[in-house]
Structure 1
Amino acid sequence: MSMSRTSRTKERLVVIGGDAAGMSAASQARRLKGPAELEIVAFERGHFTSYSACGIPYWVGGDVAERDQLIARTPEEHRARGIGLRIRTEVTEIDAEGARVRSRDLASGAESWTSYDKLVIATGARPVRPELPGVDAPGVHGVQTLDDGQALLDTLAATRGRRAVVVGAGYIGVEMAEALINRGYEVTVVNRSKEPMATLDPDMGRLVHKAMEGLGITMVNDAEVTGLPTGDDGRVRAVATEDAEYPADVVVLGIGVRPETTLAQAAGLPLGEHHGLLTDLAMRVRGHENIWAGGDCVEVLDLVSGSERHIPLGTHANKHGQVIGANVGGGYATFPGVVGTAVSKVCDLEIARTGLREKDARRAGLQFEAVTVESTSRAGYYPGADPMTVKMLAERRTGRLLGVQIVGGEGAGKRVDIAAVALTAGMTVEQMTALDLGYAPPFSPVWDPILVAARKAVAAVRANGV
């Protein structure tokens, strides 16, 4: 039995989860308070800490040569900085009333209670595994942690067949499809939506569809998976839909992730519509003075729509951790919210979005104008100018920018940051047309594609009575 709260002379911070949010919080708290003032105990059920889950598809695909390149800080480095990190130890219960957590050593099976004065929940997200026949068969993989990535690579190394099926065509599904193509597999993507990348509007997703087919990926859209048939050896052998069966030697689930809030729910902590933990601006769990939460297990405020969303990204997780660590360590910080910015790529095609899609705007009750422009990444006469499509949404009466989607060649993706700043600042599309953006022929046309889209959006808004 661990030491009780009443018999200790210094505060104890307990952290559940050893990746971005959890270890950023622990590290920031340690910078503010030394070991004499604050004891930090962190639990991680996997083998690794502080790693880039976003880099896993590039490791699987061979762009990143070694797993350890994705690790920012090892358990030994955390311990050297005064953080009591327990690897391969899973927290199985949170007793919020008693201010303690129960943990189990995954090697020995031994269980114990650890009391806390302050608790950080950073349990991340888990891949969606639909309740389908065969979904737990050997050869079926989710990809969320480094352990998951290693397990997939082990399967690829041991599998003689070269047929892979990816279920789902979101960020992970698209990136894993390309990774498997790079590994020499015949890849089929089975997607329930009309087009890949449901984070885009379908007309923009169609551009991604074409690029994937250009890589040699077989796209099966508008298809619902009904099961994963297995062979006599028990391994997965295919992915079945209502209309067809697609042979598979390996299956990757890229359906998305859900907040890992099983512990929080059992402890009676508040969850939102997307089953993520609800926090205040300081990342403190609502209604609980000494419990904080951050990373992929929480819901965040969408600054454009005003609603709570679940957006699992490492950028947010690290910011959450910094905010939590500052507050736990006696300082003050807040996390105001997000605008929903994300980038990805398929081969040389860059994909970016921020703000609201058309269906998001409709769900929020907003009336809007949507415009699309075709441009290039550089001056048209400059070598290497790649085509680029920009879609922009603006509120009908006010002209307020609501969202931007960009699909194009080199230089397309990071242009979305211009729109992300404009959204955060609450700018109108008319104000955007006056932005003093950098120009030279190697970098953009005289009118940057973002500004061309803003001008077209202004015209659309004006035509509808503003």
Structure 2
Amino acid sequence: MATAQRMVVIGANAAGMSAASRARRLKGPGELEIVALERGGHSSYSACGIPYWVGGDVADAGDLIARTPREHRERDIDLRLYTEVTELDPDGGRVRVRERGGTSEKWLGYDHLVIATGARPLRPPLPGIDAPGVHGVQSLDDGRALLDALEAAEAADTADGPRRAVVVGAGYIGVEMAEALTRRGYRVTVLDRAEQPMTTLDPDMGRLVREAMRGMGIDVITGATVTAVRTGEDGRARAVATEDAEYEADIVVLGLGVRPETGLAGEAGLPLGESGGLLTDLAMRVRGRENVWAGGDCVEVLDLVSGRTRHVALGTHANKHGQVIGTNIGGGYATFPGVVGTAVSKVCDLEIARTGLLENEAEAIGLRFVTATVESTSRAGYYPGAAPMRVKMLAERRTGRLLGVQIVGREGAGKRVDTAAVALSAGMTVERMTTLDLGYAPPFSPLWDPVLVAARKASAEVRRTGPH
């Protein structure tokens, strides 16, 4: 009887456990032994849901867990928590492992290695950045620590007036955490060094986000470079300093983005891209390695619009990567062709969405393009509850090929970006988009959907600029 092969997974969240679960469905324990190694204490949870847990929309951390360690083990997956991988040996087909609290390390061999180490939050080396009261929000443990601090401060209730929070960074996590803290009664200041918040939007669209956040009572300070976190006599964070000012803080939250967690992979000589993410083929196999796979926030993926690789840290992609990896290790066949860069978020009642390229991204790869921006509403203007939205569209000047869409508006705005994402994936022109048969009824849309109105305007701009 043939000996079962061993699949070793590093990282027990979206990509890693999706790969393990899919492979187990295809091969039983007698054919494939699956060992999953996780340095933390949780598995298969939604990091994207942490701001909503902090803000009170999600009642308990358990609601964010898709599958517990016990459930994975009941499916014959040997999940080992608090177990850290300290070295990769791809040539030898093994990884060095250390259990938390242990002093010794041992090698664990594999037939297939899945690297799903995720991403690490940016934490610049500034004075006071590691002081008590400064919080990241990357993991469930981070979220629990932040909630404990907030609840302890609220229980003490010794503040003279509203408690103050400073959020450093105005990307997706930054604006979501600003909302969560505002809802908890904090006076929130958001600091960002960019011209406008949300650098995943063009500045003219980011300006709408800034104006809306200020209208919600959130102080948004742009063009602000943080230089230090000031601490009090007790060593706790008390203010955040920039080059020009200082902002008092009872709590500081970092929302500066993430970078691929690929230190061990780089040390092992595995190929990394410009952003530091692992490079894979379409089957999610690490380039040049027959039995090493990678997925999730630690990889770079193909951008179908630009033709280049990019780092996109989203749970949707991570789960798909895991499905592809598990299918291939389990003896099937699957590929992950790439992304178009779709993302959606909100701050209070403002919805923010984008897909495809921004202006600076299109310029960076030498594309010539036109833009079209339109104002519309989520429903027929006469129907109760119609809310405003702005849609911006980029199209290639000569061909009219859709390059990107950004949407900022109230209820009903954000998910409209999906129409544009499908059009991008299909390589549509903006003129072809104007004929799309989208659903219409006054409670759901104006007669012409806002995305199609933008496509009409972009198509006219393509014709106006001509082939030259």
| TM-score, scaled relative to structure 2 | 0.97
What letter is aligned with 1:358? E
Pairs within 5 Å for 1:348-367: 348-367=349-368
1:221-276 superposed Cα distances (whole Å, 9 cap, x missing partner): 01100111111211111110010011111111101000000111111111000000
Alignment of 1:98-247 (within 5 A): 98-159=92-153, 161=159, 162-247=163-248
**Percent identical across equivalent pairs?**
76
**2:88 corresponding residue in structure 1:** 94
- TM-superposed deviation, 1:118: 0.4
Alignment of 1:266-415 (within 5 A): 266-415=267-416
Give the AA of the match of 1:424: S
User: C-alpha distance in 1, partners of 2:447/2:310?
Assistant: 37
Write the letter of the residue equivalent to 1:398: T
Q: CA RMSD in A?
A: 1.0
Deviation for aligned residue 1:339: 0.1
Query: Where in structure 1 are there 5+ consecutive unaligned residues?
Result: 1-7
SS in 2 for 1:39: strand
Stretch moving more, 380-389 or 97-106: 97-106
* Residue of structure 2 in register with 1:78 after alignment: 72
For residue 96 of structure 1, report the CA deviation from its aligned partner. 1.1
Equivalent residue for 1:62? 56
Find runs of 4+ consecutive structure 1 residues off by over 6 angstroms: none
Evaluate the alpha carbon distance shift between residue 271 and residue 213 of structure 1 in structure 2; reply closer, same or farther with a 3 A threshold: same
**Displacement of 1:105 after TM fit?**
1.1
Shift of 1:101: 0.8
Give 1:37's aligned amino acid. Answer: E
Q: Which residue of 2 aligns with 1:423?
A: 424
Q: Which of 8, 14, 18 pairs up with 1:20?
A: 14
Quote the Cα distance in structure 2 between the aligned partners of 1:347 and 1:40. 42
Q: Report the TM-score, using the length of structure 1 for normalisation.
A: 0.97
Is 2:28 the partner of 1:34?
Answer: yes
The secondary structure found in structure 1 opposite 2:297 is helix
- How far does residue 108 in structure 1 lie from its aligned partner after superposition? 3.5
Distance 2:68 2:17 in 1: 11
Please give the secondary structure, in 1, of the residue aligned with 2:214.
Answer: helix
Partners of 2:167 and 2:186 lie apart in 1 by 11
Gaps of 5+ in 2: none
Residues 101-139 of structure 1, C-alpha deviations (whole Å, 9 max, x = no match):
111111434422111010000000010001111111111
> 1:308 is aligned with what amino acid?
T
- Supply the AA of the counterpart residue of 1:17: G
The AA in structure 1 aligned to 2:174 is: G
Q: Distance in 2 between matches of 1:278 and 1:359?
A: 24
In structure 2, the residue corresponding to 1:238 is in which secondary structure? strand
d(CA) in 2 for partners of 1:285, 1:342:
26
Q: Which amino acid aligns with 1:290?
A: N
Partner of 1:5: none
76-85 or 93-102: bigger deviation:
93-102
Between 247-256 and 108-117, the greater mean CA deviation after superposition = 108-117
Q: Deviations over 1:298-328 (max 9, x none)?
A: 0000000001100000000000000000011
The one-letter amino acid of 2:134's match is: V
Aligned to 1:248: 249
Shift of 1:406: 0.4
- Measured in 2, the distance between the counterparts of 1:245 and 1:303 equals 43
Three-state SS of the structure 2 residue aligned to 1:345 is strand
Deviations 1:38-75 (A, max 9, x none): 00000011111000110000000111011100000000
Q: Which secondary structure state, in structure 1, belongs to the residue aligned with residue 459 of structure 2?
A: helix
Match of 1:4 in 2: none
CA displacement, residues 183-239 of structure 1 (integer Å, 9 cap, x when unaligned): 111110001111111000011111111111122111110110011111121111111
Amino acid at match of 1:76: R
- DSSP 3-state at the match of 2:289: coil
Distance 1:181 1:110 in 2: 46
- Matched to 2:147, the amino acid is L
- What secondary structure does 1:422 align onto? helix
Cα shift at 1:14 = 0.1
